[in-house]
């Protein structure tokens, strides 16, 4: 089957020929033009099928992205909840440090600092980001 580009090119060529043709050639060119219209209809229908298929793929991908984002959010919530539970348990048992064969747990006291003038901080305490 010919491409859409070829159909358009042939269409323009036939229209151009029709403007300068002899009357006896006109019917033959008109028949070619009608055949091109039939080709265009088939090509347009095939294009529409492919476009519909792409749209279905896009919708499937969109649904899968949403599903995965929901799953990610649920796992993040579980991690937060479990971390908070572990922290609460360590505090309840008055454990500042806990070592297991695979993991070490500890708490640090920290507080936020407000910097009024960054130029007053010695460069040895600054990091390039």
- The CA distance from 128 to 112, in Å, is 20
Q: Which two tokens stand for residue 29?
A: 């060119």
Q: What integer pLDDT is reported at residue 75 of this predicted model?
A: 98
Inter-residue contact 11 to 32 (CB < 8 Å): no
pLDDT in tens, 95-124: 888 999 999 998 777 778 888 888 888 888
pTM: 0.57
For residues 72-77, give the mean pLDDT.
98
Helix, strand, coil percentages (3-state) for the chain, rounded to 5, are: 70, 5, 25
Domain boundaries, given as residue ranges, for the chain: 4-96
């Amino acid at each position: 089957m010919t491409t859409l580009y070829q159909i358009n090119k042939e269409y323009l060529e036939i229209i151009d020929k029709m403007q300068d043709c002899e009357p006896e050639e006109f019917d033959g060119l008109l028949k070619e033009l009608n055949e091109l219209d039939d080709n265009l209809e088939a090509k347009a229908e095939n294009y529409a099928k492919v476009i519909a298929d792409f749209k279905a793929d896009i919708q499937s991908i969109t649904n899968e992205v949403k599903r995965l984002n929901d799953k990610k959010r649920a796992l993040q919530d579980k991690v937060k909840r479990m971390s908070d539970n572990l922290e609460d348990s360590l505090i309840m048992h008055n454990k500042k440090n806990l070592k297991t064969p695979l993991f070490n747990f500890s708490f640090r006291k920290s507080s936020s600092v407000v910097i009024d003038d960054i130029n007053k901080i010695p460069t040895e305490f600054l990091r390039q980001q």
